[in-house]
Amino acid sequence: MRVSTKDYWTPKTPCPHCGFVMDLATGVEHDDPPSAGSVGICESCAEVHVFTEELARRRPTADEQIEIDADAKVQQCRRAIKRSKS
Ligand SMILES: [Zn+2]
């Protein structure tokens, strides 16, 4: 798993799960900035969020959640964050 060395500023918005405020996004396996519909992972609780048009963070819809749960890369990334927290 390769984490990009490029960080992108986003509007300061809280994690929709735990309220942790984030203002940075970093790509995993790519160097692109986040855009509407990009999936992000909270660095505090390791739950998944989706970026809006304004790059705020919202909870995934039920359909998105199914896709996210099936994405091995996202799950690998969540496990890495959880490990780093314990
Ligand atoms: Zn969180």
pLDDT at 71: 95
Q: CB–CB of 73/29 below 8 Å?
A: yes
Neighbours of ion ligand 1 (CB under 5 A): 15, 17-18, 20, 42, 44-45
Is the pLDDT reported for residue 2 higher than 90? no
For 42-81, write each residue's pLDDT tens digit: 999 999 999 999 999 999 999 999 999 999 999 999 999 9
pLDDT exceeding 70 applies to what percent of the chain?
Answer: 100
Q: How many angstroms is it from 75 CA to the middle of ligand 1?
A: 15
Q: For the chain, what percent of residues have pLDDT higher than 90?
A: 88
Report helix, strand or coil for 38.
coil
pTM beyond 0.75: yes
Query: What is the SS3 assignment for 62?
Result: helix
**Exposure string for 37-71, b = 16+ CB within 10 A, e = fewer:** eebbbbeebbbbbbbeeebebeebeeebeeebeee
| Boundaries of every domain in the chain | 3-85
> 10 C-alpha vs ligand 1 centroid, how far in Å?
16
- For residue 7, CA distances in Å to 15, 21, 25, 74 come to 18, 16, 6, 18
What is the distance in A from the centroid of ligand 1 to the CA of 22?
9
